[in-house]
Amino acid sequence: MGLLIIIIIIGLIWYTKAIGFNVGCIIGGGIGAFIGSSLGIAGGGGATNGLVIFMAIGFVIGGLVFKSINNQK
């Protein structure tokens, strides 16, 4: 579990430096955290693993969606 969190944190730091941090990241991370804490099926099956994994996925997807919406305007 500890190694998984470290890998995700390093990936998110790289993502924010490469793509950029925006409001979509926060919204996507919040939605991902809500879904992950409700499901608790990711990783080893615990709610903490689900929270961490889905929050990271939501962070990335939310940031990309928000960036693409802003680029279209």
> Consecutive sets of 10 residues in the chain, 73 residues long: mean pLDDT of each?
78 82 86 79 59 84 88 78
pTM of the entire predicted model? 0.72
- Confirm if 66 and 18 have CB atoms less than 8 A apart: no
**Which pLDDT does position 40 carry in this prediction?**
57
- The confidence score (pLDDT) of residue 73 equals 67
- Taken as a whole, the chain contains a residue count of 73
pLDDT at 67: 86
Q: Which two tokens stand for residue 29?
A: 């991370």
48 Cβ neighbours under 8 A, 6+ residues apart = 1
CB neighbours of 35 closer than 8 A, spacing ≥ 6? 54, 58
H helix intervals, the chain: 2-18, 23-39, 47-72
Question: What is the domain range of residue 65?
Answer: 2-72
Give the number of domains in the chain.
Answer: 1
